[in-house]
Structure 1
Amino acid sequence: MNERSEPTTGSAEPPADGGRMEAATEAFLAHRNLLFTVAYEMLGSAADAEDVLQETWLRWVKVDIAQVSDRRAYLVRITTRCALDRLRSLKRRKEAYVGPWLPEPLLTAPDVAEDAELAESLSMALMLVLETLSPTERAVFVLREVFDVSYEEIAAAVDKNLATVRQIAHRARRHVEARRPREEVSPSQARAALASFQRALETRNLQALLDVLAPEVVLVSDGGGVKQASPRPIIGADKVARFYLGGSAKVEAAITWDATLVNGNPAFIVRMDGEIDGVMAIQVEDARITGLYYVRNPQKLTRVASETTLTLR
């Protein structure tokens, strides 16, 4: 069965065979969390990932699933193609975005943090690296390196021959390896750095803040033109520390920093007078913070009130 020939838009007519619809629904629901994770890893947006799942469903119900030997692989293939289409349109949207763009943060359960491979792939730092890949490179990298999909299945999903897919995978892997964190950091190390950062902010201790920030730390804030945010990254421990201490001194509201898990990694939900102001994710190397990622855009904060289920399987 070739999914390539199926229409990509329009409403699906319910199959006449109720049993076929039931089987299609059962298969889709069984793999829904996986499909969402694939789409989110490719897009960095939960809203767009949900749209991709809707498109996947509309295509899936038109398939003669009796002819599909591996329903999981087939669904991943459809999701990948839909996500690739969406990724290309997202590129145009991001070019018009006001200020730096950060992935949409997701509140996640502890089991995501316990899966080191999944947690790393979902980290803000790595997802920003994935943003520097072309749409096809990102799809190939995510499917191969994160979800361990075979090259044969990836070739079918991205409509490339096997040799080309292997070349793309090699190029994407080399690109990501050159930019990803130099060492793996345990969740406990990340939590310790986060706690030190919080104490320094709450006590307004400049030296303590400088001690936990790496000299080359980068602060990226995303307000989307809706909330105030730095229009460009702030680089250097002294500049970042003074930005935070100087900014918080001007805020009259009561600020709280609630430790949680976002994208499978330790992070803060920042509240002002009890209302969510944003999400702060971090990157840690050598026990010091090298990256701070602050999402304030309200449109990107809809997934931090309840946990999102993510999975590699």
Structure 2
Amino acid sequence: MTSMLERRFRLLPEASGIDRLMAAEAFDDAIGLLAQNFVASHVAAPRSSAQFASQQRWLLSQAALTRHFRAAEVGGPGVSRRVIGHLAVQHNISSRNTAYAFFDEILKYRLVLPALEGSRAGEVVPAPEALPVLGGWYEVHLAALDCIDGGDRSIRFRSAPERLLPLLVPAIGDRLLASPEIRMPGPLYRIFAWSDAGGHLMDRLVAGIDRHASQPGGYLTDVRSITHLADFLALSRAHTSRKFAEAESIGGLGWNGRRGRSRIWISEGFYTEYAMAQAHKLIIFQEAFAEIEGRASKMNDEDCAVFS
């Protein structure tokens, strides 16, 4: 499949970082890598990956994780039910009641556990079983950046996740929560992003793009059945059908033949919105990884100065 952005962007000296990233030859490969890994994560750990599968849960998770790792570093207050409610309102993510329901759910399914003795009452920490999924989410974004520019960030992260994850999460979380592009993606993306497992619905469509098939104005996927897609993501068929109907009504997707008996296509506009949402995340990962490496390098230089 010819790169979408080869047709839409030309690299100019004044091009923004996002334009340069999206115009890269390997950008579409990086987007495919992300989508395929998000789908694989759902298969391997559906409960944990579900926290990244809708915009609201994902933002609540980022706020909570940022608070947790920053508190662990400085010994300040950690994450509790009350804190989750405060963060939700502070960052304009949801109501307190919605945040409390989110907290109750992740505690019920043991994605978080009560903090060790000596912590403040009601505080929780990520469950050990959830940490590999969390680390994998960060690592795949670094791998996507490496796919684009030939770097080795993911290898460096994989060599020391216990050291790098606590540094990377707050640096990325602050930027994600403050980014208007992250908070307000395009209209087609929003149809799915704010619904249960809507992110995974988009991931599965993008992961299923057939690069060898042509579809005027869009991309043909290997998805044929809404029912099978709903079952795969443990969603109701009615809910999934409503989301597809909304996207179809504004030209975001359709069938290349008889409905339900042919393959689903997504429009170039839909793909562009998905790709742009991922690109904004990747720029944030790029900046945050460079920041923590610069900080580590400065600390090493200072240590060397002390002993020289």
The interval holding the TM-score normalised by the smaller chain is under 0.3
TM-score, structure 1 as length reference? 0.23
> More strand per residue: 1 or 2?
1
> More helix per residue: 1 or 2?
2
